[in-house]
Chain A
């Protein structure tokens, strides 16, 4: 349409008044819209300026350098109330990343498991998976968080009567307390050995793919890789004389000392987020597997592939193409929903930012920071998505 009208306008430039020329009209319309947007922004801005002056609220990000004066319940890095707001917000960001990363891993595992169970030919298993999906999807995640948090506080006993389901693991209203291996110099080399094994696995996978492309022979990459990942750290462990000492939690007064404590806030948040989001992941996985047409599977079987090979070489690569884009958006949803932590008192980024806003009164900077951090998460996720889509896009002929 635009091409046709342009040539019309070129033919009779003077005969058409400017409000009937679509090209000029479009420009004028856009200018008007821009003016509207800018004037609204200006009115809001000037109102805000005068309000801030009247309430004598400071502006700018200078508060990040100021001592925060509040404690944070749990932290990945060193933090005390003598540190700055900037560091407090960093602690919050790291807490958000921690719960999101662990949540995403668990969500994928549980979601894939339930999604496959939903497709099971076993009536009972498929029904149970269906009930799980419907129930979890249709209850607000915030309500689920409150529920799990209440379970921790009301249903679990005090530390003195802590449940002890497995030796070294205690469940009580202070959270989940686990025994961990006591600190030993062997741990760092073991970690390095694991990293080396992972890199070897990746190189092996690349090599195996090349060999398969050239000759059609298949090398058992996963089994070898898993073997390497177990073998390397185990060898290092043996070389250091196989340290077996454990840091076992013991009851001291009213609480446990030693071991590792997972707080009730973190556990409730993690359980709630994982259960809620994995229901959506299960539906995505189910749809992805069903999207692989029956003919593909039959064709794979008819050229003599074993059932494991059918899954690995034919079904999964095609299903993943359907599964991964909505899956990444669920990962993002989990990350965004982790902001509900504030409702049960886990110190995630939003919760720390909220405390900061309350103490400094600098609401605009605080909300802007919250939005900026989540935008970073979502932009990096969509960058990954675009990369993946390009990598796996069907080569059209």
Chain B
């Protein structure tokens, strides 16, 4: 042990190879105890048993662009079902010569979403831009003003899924905020009405609301008045989502310090002014990330309209699968849809996580 020259000794003694670099990382993260080593080996074995056959099924033995006859010959996945039926799966019964309209509407929606996700564009112009955008989308889908009208009964596929969830959210938000304010209200009638509504809706499954829309709403209306199935389902989704939004917004309202309410009162603001100018701007900002969470659930939940026979993207897929030519390729079709839903939902949840971090002011 030469204490005379410690600097030199340190230069010469490198850390053992098992502690640095790739080997070190593997040692530290995968084999740092006998139990972890066992776990790693088990996990690797599980992956080895499942991944290669699945890979072979999905990519090696598979067909991507072929007719249904060629698919009967192979052992692998028949992905051809998607490109061969893409038009119907995505756009459903929309008249063929008009199908550019939903396509442009969807592109417009994606452009709007892409524009909005950047926080630099969050300013006063954003709201009118969205109103115009939604209006143009509605016009493209429905027609009128020089374009042939397409009834909502023909709206189907991905546009229907997107519209039901997007308009569900847009329609439910004002109602949800009102319900949240109502639940916080000191007026007993308003308070109890809001509580009953919120708890009632949150206590029942969405499917019962959809049943209500499809078989009970027609009974509520006076004789001769009808409104169509898509709109009824849309109303049910709005009524359902509003209760969940109300609870999220209530969380935001509760997070605002009491001093803010008192300060607003002491400035002599009326209830409406205090809420509009002081409380809601702060509360709604807090609840943006959980609201994205609700949007994700609303997006996933729109798939339930299958049960009341609306042709959303899941239903068009099921219709395709009931075609004798393509019968028997459910796994491929459902896996494709799963990937589609996953991309949408994962992008949204990832974004909400980032937003939560960015908006967090740490108090």
Chain B residues positioned under 8 Å from A298 (CB to CB): none
Query: With A and B bound together, what is the CA distance between A196 and B218 in angstroms?
Result: 56
Q: Is the CB of B346 within 8 A of A134?
A: yes
Chain A residues packing against B (C-beta within 8 Å): 1-2, 26, 29-30, 33-34, 37, 44, 47-48, 50-52, 54, 120-125, 128, 134-135, 137-144, 146-147, 150-151, 153-155, 336-337, 339-340, 342-343, 350, 354, 357, 363-364, 366-367, 370-371, 374-375, 377-379
Q: Is the CB of B334 within 8 A of A367?
A: no
Contacts across chains A and B counted by CB atoms under 8 Å = 154
Chain B proximity of A141: nearest CB distance (Å): 7
B36 contacts which of A122, A342, A375 (Cβ < 8 Å)? A122
> What would 24 A/B residue contacts be, using CB atoms closer than 8 Å?
A30-B188, A37-B193, A47-B222, A47-B223, A51-B221, A52-B219, A121-B29, A124-B40, A134-B346, A137-B345, A139-B300, A139-B342, A139-B345, A140-B301, A140-B314, A154-B331, A336-B205, A343-B307, A350-B207, A357-B211, A363-B215, A364-B219, A367-B211, A375-B203
Q: Which of chain B's residues 241-274 have a Cβ closer than 8 Å to chain A?
A: 265
Chain A residues positioned under 8 Å from B265 (CB to CB): 1
Main secondary structure of the interface of A (DSSP, over half): helix
Query: With A and B bound together, what is the CA distance between A147 and B318 in angstroms?
Result: 11
Q: Report if B204 contacts A (CB, 8 A).
A: yes
Q: Is the CB of A371 within 8 A of B334?
A: no
Given A122-B40, A364-B216, 17 more pairs with CB closer than 8 A = A29-B187, A30-B188, A37-B193, A47-B222, A48-B220, A139-B300, A139-B345, A142-B304, A143-B337, A143-B338, A150-B331, A154-B330, A155-B331, A350-B208, A363-B216, A371-B203, A375-B203
Q: How large is the interface on B (under 10, 10 to 19, 20 to 34, 35 or more residues)?
A: 35 or more
Known: A1-B265, A339-B205, A374-B204. A367 touches B216 (CB 8 A): yes
Query: With A and B bound together, what is the CA distance between A30 and B192 in angstroms?
Result: 11
Query: With A and B bound together, what is the CA distance between A340 and B314 in angstroms?
Result: 14
Q: Is the CB of A141 within 8 A of B300?
A: yes
Query: With A and B bound together, what is the CA distance between A13 and B31 in angstroms?
Result: 81
B338, closest chain A residue (CB) = A139
Query: With A and B bound together, what is the CA distance between A54 and B219 in angstroms?
Result: 11
Q: Is the CB of A150 within 8 A of B341?
A: no
Q: Is the CB of A124 within 8 A of B30?
A: yes
Q: Is the CB of B314 within 8 A of A146?
A: yes
Chain B proximity of A371: nearest CB distance (Å): 5
Q: Report if B1 contacts A (CB, 8 A).
A: no
The 6 closest A-B pairs by CB, nearest first: A150-B330, A378-B203, A138-B345, A123-B29, A30-B189, A140-B300
Query: With A and B bound together, what is the CA distance between A44 and B221 in angstroms?
Result: 7
A361, closest chain B residue (CB) = B215
CB 8 Å contact bits of B331-362 with A (1 = contact, 0 = none)? 10011011001100110010000000000000
Known: A30-B187, A122-B29, A122-B30. A146 touches B330 (CB 8 A): yes
Q: Is the CB of A125 within 8 A of B43?
A: yes
Known: A48-B219, A51-B223, A123-B29. A337 touches B205 (CB 8 A): yes
Query: With A and B bound together, what is the CA distance between A54 and B44 in angstroms?
Result: 68
Q: Is the CB of A125 within 8 A of B40?
A: yes
Q: Which of chain B's residues 170-226 have a Cβ closer than 8 Å to chain A?
A: 186-190, 193, 200, 202-205, 207-208, 211-212, 215-216, 218-223
Q: Is the CB of A354 within 8 A of B205?
A: no
Chain A residues positioned under 8 Å from B190 (CB to CB): 30, 33
Chain A residues positioned under 8 Å from B9 (CB to CB): none
Q: Is the CB of A354 within 8 A of B314?
A: no
Query: With A and B bound together, what is the CA distance between A257 and B227 in angstroms?
Result: 52
Query: With A and B bound together, what is the CA distance between A54 and B43 in angstroms?
Result: 66
Q: Report if B98 contacts A (CB, 8 A).
A: no
Query: With A and B bound together, what is the CA distance between A343 and B135 in angstroms?
Result: 34
Chain B proximity of A363: nearest CB distance (Å): 4
Q: Report if B32 contacts A (CB, 8 A).
A: yes
Chain A proximity of B83: nearest CB distance (Å): 20
Q: Which of chain B's residues 101-145 have a Cβ closer than 8 Å to chain A?
A: none
Q: Report if B39 contacts A (CB, 8 A).
A: yes
Q: Is the CB of B220 within 8 A of A120?
A: no
Q: Report if B62 contacts A (CB, 8 A).
A: no
Chain B residues positioned under 8 Å from A122 (CB to CB): 29-30, 36, 39-40, 43
Q: Is the CB of A370 within 8 A of B208?
A: yes
A342 contacts which of B43, B207, B318, B341 (Cβ < 8 Å)? B207
Q: Is the CB of A47 within 8 A of B328?
A: no
Chain B residues positioned under 8 Å from A26 (CB to CB): 187
Q: Is the CB of B205 within 8 A of A374?
A: yes
Q: Is the CB of B200 within 8 A of A367?
A: no
Known: A121-B32, A124-B40, A147-B335. A378 touches B202 (CB 8 A): yes
Query: With A and B bound together, what is the CA distance between A30 and B331 in angstroms?
Result: 55
B29, closest chain A residue (CB) = A123
B304 contacts which of A51, A135, A340, A371 (Cβ < 8 Å)? A340
A4, closest chain B residue (CB) = B265
Query: With A and B bound together, what is the CA distance between A150 and B335 in angstroms?
Result: 11
Chain B proximity of A215: nearest CB distance (Å): 34
Q: Is the CB of A363 within 8 A of B219?
A: yes
Chain B proximity of A152: nearest CB distance (Å): 10
Query: With A and B bound together, what is the CA distance between A330 and B102 in angstroms?
Result: 37
Q: Is the CB of B39 within 8 A of A120?
A: yes
Chain B residues positioned under 8 Å from A48 (CB to CB): 219-220
A374, closest chain B residue (CB) = B204
Query: With A and B bound together, what is the CA distance between A121 and B205 in angstroms?
Result: 39
Chain B proximity of A345: nearest CB distance (Å): 12
